[in-house]
Amino acid sequence: MSLLAYSLPLVMLLSALAVSLTAPRLGEGVARISVLASALALLLAGVLFVNQLGAEEPRLVGVGLTIFNLYVDALSTLMALLVSGVGLVVHVFSVRYMQDDPGYTRFFLLLDLIIGVILLMVLAGDLLTLLLAWHLLGVCLYFLLSHETRRPAATRYAFWTLFTHRIGDLPLLATTGLAYHTYGTLSLPELFAKVAETPDATTLLGLPFAETVGVLILLAAFAKSAQFPLHTWLPYTMDGPTPVSALMHAGIVNAGGFLINRFAPVFVHTDGVLLLALAVGLVTTILGSLMMLMQSDIKKALGYSTMGQMGYMVMECGLGAFSLAIYHLIAHGVFKATLFLGSGAIIANARKDPNIPEGEIYKFMVERKVPKPPMSWVVFAAITITVPLLIVFGAHQVVDEGFLHHQGAMILLLFGWITGAQTLFFVYKLGAERPFLVLLYVILSFGIVILTYVVVGHAFDALLYPDPAFREALYQAASVDFTWFLAVLLMLVVLIAAGWLLIFRSAAAQEPLHRRYRGLYYGLYALLSRELYIADLYSRAGEKLLAASRRLNAWLRWV
């Protein structure tokens, strides 16, 4: 088992070395070495995952050193399977996509190197190895994003990425120092065991260790997973090669979700820390989804969509649904990587032939002709508000009756309700000729999706955290005072239902809300089109720092 675990990152790192040594002789033929190594890594990851399924306990394997220990458990093997799987697809896609590129061999070298580093990160069994891989991940990503040296924008935003990731390195570095100072160990399983024994331990300045480390881990995850306001690096990396944009969903931009789950045994003993993840994730989800709608560039729109989904993933952790966040991480990673790889073909085909059949959807999406709704808005509003709620509630009750006892589960139900209602509202606004038939299809599809989501989510619960008491403790760590929670939840339900009624009434009267509240609409549009001026603020701050450094250099006569 030890040899199998170490062979995963070593295969990709040795492949990078082989590509570097044979590039002068093989030229573009080095891609075969890289693809074969990636396929072997996927095979090894599959074997390791299957072996772990039959194991009773996680295993820490090492080579007799303090560093480079690997931790083999369900989380690490599942992430390794995702990384190697997406990595193989990206490798195969890049063989032809990067053809005739001047840096062809260098690209495959970096591709092998970054996948090897990601595998080392997800398998890391000690804090030093985790910190090393966490740092090298940002460095390798910088070189991949700035691969096209003839594009100044690519180099500039690659540096933005590097700088933001360095911000994310500092909290993890502080965590490493505090862990060694408090408990005298760098081993992750040993650290988790000692935290469980003395959860009230304090560290420097008398700070509680669990809460302090919890906040530091969240800050590191926020930087890597593009959480507001450290999100600007992600949408602006679209000048890099398309395969890199797809690869970022294999343990790079979603590394924050992995890191939070890795330190779940610490978060169990925190009080109020997960509320920070909930707040930041919620803001990031809303802003990412809104700014995605403002983009005309398909890759940048996908980038903001990823930002919103990563916010949802962090929010799930903030609600105590840690295993659900991993499921979301994997499902979104595979889905969004596929969209990025296909984005170029979609753009090319759309330029030749829009291929949009005429009909209700064509009139609505292209001609902006809104057909008259075919039925009473009151009836459709009642269906929209009640049916998704019943589906979401019923699906969770079928799978796990005790699931609704958790506050985090109630918030997730609220979001599922909003998503389902939005889907049904689109059916109403579309104004199809046979609305009830279309509505029936949409409701059945939504029900199947929700039921599958719940079933798979609970399967991930049993896989990643088989101890029910531990899962319950995670939900409790994310809980707040029940009276306040219930009051806020009821207020949100009433406001959301009232909002849907207002939207339906406006649609039925053929009077869009953006016309009624034109001033507010245009103000919000201007704010979102400038992306909340966050990127401008960072640019201005950078200019001020450079000007100050030049004045300091002149004053000290260094230049």
The secondary structure of 464-492 as a DSSP string is: H---HHHHHHHHHHT---HHHHHHHHHHH
Report residue 106 CA to chain centroid gap: 28
Q: How far apart are CA 314 and CA 426, in angstroms?
A: 28
Of the candidate ranges 75-79, 225-229, 474-478, 528-532, the one whose mean pLDDT is the lowest: 528-532
Structure tokens at 316: 């799930």
What is residue 322's predicted lDDT score, i.e. its pLDDT?
87
What is residue 56's predicted lDDT score, i.e. its pLDDT?
74
Q: How confident is the model at residue 384 (pLDDT cuts 50, 70, 90)?
A: low
Number of other residues whose CB lies within 10 A of the CB of residue 299: 19
What is residue 131's predicted lDDT score, i.e. its pLDDT?
93
Q: How far apart are CA 149 and CA 109, in angstroms?
A: 16
Q: How far apart are CA 516 and CA 507, in angstroms?
A: 12
Beta-bridged to residue 187, according to DSSP, are 126
Instruction: Categorise residue 184: left if φ over 0, alpha if ψ from -120 to 50, beta otherwise.
Output: left
Structure tokens at 19: 């590509």
Q: How confident is the model at residue 127 (pLDDT cuts 50, 70, 90)?
A: very high
CA distances from 78 to 51, 75, 331, 464 (A): 12, 5, 12, 9
Q: How far apart are CA 42 and CA 36, in angstroms?
A: 10
Is the pLDDT assigned to residue 172 strictly greater than 90?
yes
Is the pLDDT assigned to residue 234 strictly greater than 70?
yes
Helices and strands, number each (H, E), in the chain? 23, 2
What is residue 372's predicted lDDT score, i.e. its pLDDT?
52
Of the candidate ranges 124-133, 220-229, 426-435, 476-485, the one whose mean pLDDT is the lowest: 426-435
Tell me the pLDDT tens digit for each residue of 425-470: 666 666 555 666 666 766 776 677 777 777 777 788 888 888 888 8
CA dihedral in degrees (3, 20, 333, 254; nearest 10)? Answer: 80
Is the pLDDT assigned to residue 259 strictly greater than 90?
yes
Which amino acid, 476?
Q
Average pLDDT on 389-410 reads: 63
Between residues 406 and 557, the one the model is more confident about: 557
What is residue 174's predicted lDDT score, i.e. its pLDDT?
93
Tell me 187's DSSP state. Answer: B
Q: How far apart are CA 222 and CA 205, in angstroms?
A: 25
Is the pLDDT assigned to residue 537 strictly greater than 70?
yes
Most confident by average pLDDT, 61-70, 149-158, 192-201: 192-201
Which amino acid, 30?
V
Tell me the pLDDT tens digit for each residue of 210-230: 899 999 999 999 999 888 888
What is residue 262's predicted lDDT score, i.e. its pLDDT?
93
Q: For residue 4, with 0-12 CB atoms within 10 Å meaning exposed, 13-18 middle and 19 or more buried, which class applies? A: middle
Is the pLDDT assigned to residue 10 strictly greater than 70?
yes
Q: How far apart are CA 49 and CA 511, in angstroms?
A: 56
CA end-to-end span of the chain: 57
Q: How far apart are CA 420 and CA 392, in angstroms?
A: 9
Is the pLDDT assigned to residue 418 strictly greater than 60?
yes
The set of residues, in sequence order, having a beta carbon less than 8 Å from that of 259 and lying 6+ positions away, is 134, 172, 217, 220, 221, 224
Tell me 531's DSSP state. Answer: G
Place of tokens 């492949």: 15
What is residue 351's predicted lDDT score, i.e. its pLDDT?
62
